Amino acid sequence: MALTSMIIGIISLIICFIGCFLFATLPGSIVSLCFSIIALSMGIISIVLGVKAKTLSVTTGRGKGFALTGLTLGIIAVALNTLELVASVIFIIIHCMLNSPDSTLNRLIDIVSKL
């Protein structure tokens, strides 16, 4: 269980970094959003398994290092993926606002450009 927690935490961080590289365009941002949801759920699973393995390692005396590593990687993955998720949603909203012909933001840009 401790080794599984560590492996899932590592995979979650790798998926997070792949999602960060896809962030630059709208289709990439949508894919990044999907990647961050998957990696966020994996990070939560890593935390749960890490906590369970850490409590189990107290009785067995084995796997404490793997459990602590899985717990730490899971916490880092959840934090980074939450930031990536929020950034992706904000990017998609801004992109849709800028490309909508009736958006208030486009009207403001037109007014400022006429000045």
Which phi and psi (to 5°) does residue 89 adopt? -65, -45
Q: Would the pTM of this model clear 0.85, i.e. be above it?
A: no
CA separation for the pair 50, 41 (Å, rounded): 14
Could you report the per-residue pLDDT of 98-112, keeping only the tens digit for each?
A: 776 666 666 667 777
CA dist., res. 42 & res. 80, Å (int): 12
3-state secondary structure of 63: coil
Per the CB < 8 A criterion, the answer to whether 22 and 91 are in contact is: no
Q: What digits encode the pLDDT tens for the residues 2-43?
A: 899 999 999 999 988 887 777 666 676 778 888 888 999 999
Confidence band for 79, pLDDT divided at 50, 70 and 90: very high
What's the rounded Cα separation, in Å, for the pair 91 and 69? 32
Angle (CA) 105 84 45, round 5°: 145
